[in-house]
A and B are shown apart, each in its own frame.
Chain A
Amino acid sequence: MKAVSLPVAYMPLVDAAPLIMAQEMGFAEDEGISLELIAAPSWSSVRDMLAFGRVDAAHLLSPVPVAMAMGLGGVTTAVSAVSVLSVNGNVIGVGRGLEDRLRADGYRFDFSDPLRAAAALARVGGGPLTFGVPFPFSMHVELLRYWAAGTALGPGGIEIRTVPPPLMANALAAGDVDAFCVGEPWGSFAVEQGAGALLLPGRAIWNFAPEKVLAVRSAWAETEPDLLGRLMRAVWRAGRWVSNPDSRAATAEILSRRTYLDVPPELIDRALSGHLTLSRRGEQRRVDRFLEFHEGAATFPWRSQARWIAAHLGRAHPATTRAARDDAALVFRSDLHRRHLAGTGCELPGASEKVEGSIRQPMLVPAVRGNLSLLPDAFFDGLIFDPSRPG
């Protein structure tokens, strides 16, 4: 039987691994599908290819489908996030200028304490700092805003500007941005280029932030339930495979190919292992669950995660209504996740919402069958987000 070909758009990033490995390791083939993987030049392009039907599925920044539902940005086709592809995995870094000032001030790059990092930046920054991010609707932006608002930096202490990661080194050199928040391999790439140093992993701000999602047009999800199920199962199995430490070498090797990321496997392995090099001085730090593809029901699209994103997008764009935010929370399709992953061995939680930020230690919660262990999802400031009172 000939496999059904499914066009899928992605950005060449380490967290595209579940899609790439689903195709490369035969998980797609097992479901009778073949993924036609299309590397996109920009996030706008990924979104447009999905919205206009050039592809049927996409690797997308988790806030994009939420923003589209709220009418923000250029395109507002209804898109569903059917699985979370990856949790965490971003890094915050500073350019050479700031790095030098931080070092002169006695700051030790610990890569773990958001309060200390912010206090040091506020001390040496001398005014608002401009951070480059890949896209206006991204977890990068939300993490930066959340961090600044709750620290010595303050909400007015940072400005955010979109800079495609390949241009970040130039933007730093030209003084257009002082610092950045990017996904791997771009942080490690900046370090290798000598463009800057890494300050914090994204997970230091939010322990369990949904980073990328598997997105499809909502209309396509309705008309092609069978294909959607096959795609979701193949990608879920690939994520489980990738998260196994034994798969790391093969994953780094395949992602490094010219058709995918086209960077040395060693650079990719840093994100996969959580063993990051912070600067050209060679300081190294190990971060547990720097980038998570599977454990702790990582792929489950919690409605509360979408609600958190919608609430924060709403604050930044006050013209959006409460009703729009409520609707937007429904683009994380826990219903479809349950329907299509039942029977795969995927542990499905009993609830579809949780109080975000309330889990401090790995915690057993009721699952559809038995129990399942959820991983810490705390925010750095210890606050919680109650989806029934989104504010």
Chain B
Amino acid sequence: MSFPLSGFTPLNMTGGLTIVVVEEDRARAMAIVDALKDAGDCDVFVIGNSSGLARKIAAHAPDIVLIDIDNPTRDMMEELTLASGPLDRPVAMFVSGAAGGLAQTAIEAGVSAYVVDGLSPERIKPIMDTAIARFRIVRQMRNELAETRRALEERKVIDRAKGLLMKAKGIDEDAAYALLRKAAMDQGRRVAEVAEALATAARLLG
């Protein structure tokens, strides 16, 4: 059960770049792949999350590895930053020199890039610009989805709290909502928080 921890031997000086995208979600992966292919001459491979990630990535001998910054399997990438032999080219999150600002922008956009040692910034830049733009869109979509889910969840809790108040106090829906809103304003909290507290208390009191 052994495999080399890093193994990027063929240094690709002139031809197209080999890029590995680590992404579990197929639709998201394809969107990123298409954008990268449009950006220039490159081979792009997609790998899902798996416990043998480092080995699978190494098999492609990529020049660049792109991975969502929130992906827990990122820690497996760390093994690739340690060269296991003198001929291996370790990858680094490029943070120094000309590419430093790019790394910062990438992180803010939600993508971490691991780039093979010795690859010039001019060759990385177009790829990274595309990846950053694409990941930014992906992130935005994901945030919007999470926001929608949260809003839905809050609506449910508020409805439950309104129901409890209507039953306990014999008031109508508007009055119940007004009561919740007033309590929220008095305590400097959000209506959803007050509703949640009420629902929890009601549950405890049986």
Contact = CB atoms under 8 A, between A and B. Distances in A.
7 contacts: A41-B70, A43-B75, A135-B75, A161-B54, A161-B79, A164-B72, A170-B51
B81 A162 contact: no
A130 B54 CA distance: 15
A73 B81 contact: yes
Contacts of B1: 128, 130, 159, 175-176, 178
Q: Which of A44, A132, A167 counts the most B-chain CB atoms under 10 A from its CB?
A: A44
Interface of B: 1-2, 49, 51-52, 54, 69-79, 81-82, 91-93, 95, 103-104, 107, 112, 114
A102 interface: no
Given A52-B107, A317-B82, A164 B93 contact: no
Contacts of B93: 48, 74-75
A43 B71 CA distance: 11
B2 A162 contact: no
A-B pairs with the 4 shortest C-beta distances? A171-B51, A74-B93, A176-B51, A164-B72
B78 A167 contact: no
B54 A162 contact: yes
Nearest to B73: A164
A174 interface: yes
A164 B112 contact: no
Contact of A128 (B2, B72, B77): B2
Nearest to A137: B78
A134 interface: yes
Nearest to B90: A74
Q: Which of B2, B51, B82, B92 counts the most A-chain CB atoms under 10 A from its CB?
A: B51
B75 A164 contact: yes
B24 to A, nearest CB: 11
Given A75-B95, A162-B76, A41 B81 contact: no
A93 B195 CA distance: 44
B82 A73 contact: yes
Contacts of B52: 174, 176
Contacts, number: 87
Given A42-B74, A42-B75, 15 more contacts: A44-B78, A48-B69, A52-B104, A73-B81, A73-B82, A74-B78, A74-B95, A77-B95, A130-B1, A132-B51, A137-B78, A162-B76, A164-B75, A167-B49, A178-B1
A176 B1 CA distance: 7
A163 interface: yes
A319 B104 CA distance: 28
Contact of B74 (A44, A75, A317): A44
A135 B78 CA distance: 8
Contacts of B72: 41-42, 164, 166-167
A313 B78 CA distance: 15
A45 B76 contact: no
Nearest to B107: A52
Contacts of B75: 42-44, 134-135, 162, 164
A336 interface: no
A204 B52 CA distance: 30
A45 B70 contact: yes
B2 A73 contact: no
Interface of A: 41-45, 48, 51-52, 54, 72-75, 77, 128, 130, 132, 134-137, 159, 161-164, 166-167, 170-171, 174-178, 317
A45 B69 contact: yes
Given A162-B75, A164-B72, A74 B107 contact: no
A306 to B, nearest CB: 20
A162 B79 contact: yes
Nearest to A163: B51
Contact of B112 (A48, A128, A162): A48
A41 B79 CA distance: 17
A133 B74 CA distance: 13
A134 B75 CA distance: 7
A251 B164 CA distance: 31
B51 A45 contact: no
Contacts of B104: 52
Given A74-B92, A170-B51, A44 B77 contact: yes
B200 to A, nearest CB: 12
Nearest to A135: B75
B135 to A, nearest CB: 15
A167 to B, nearest CB: 5
A134 to B, nearest CB: 7
A51 B100 CA distance: 12
Contacts of B74: 41-42, 44-45
A171 B107 CA distance: 28
B78 A73 contact: yes
Nearest to A173: B51
A372 B79 CA distance: 41
Given A128-B2, A171-B51, A177-B51, A72 B82 contact: yes
Nearest to A77: B95
Q: Which of A75, A77, A162, A178 counts the most B-chain CB atoms under 10 A from its CB?
A: A162
A375 to B, nearest CB: 31
A166 B82 CA distance: 23
Contacts of A132: 51
A127 to B, nearest CB: 8
A382 B28 CA distance: 54
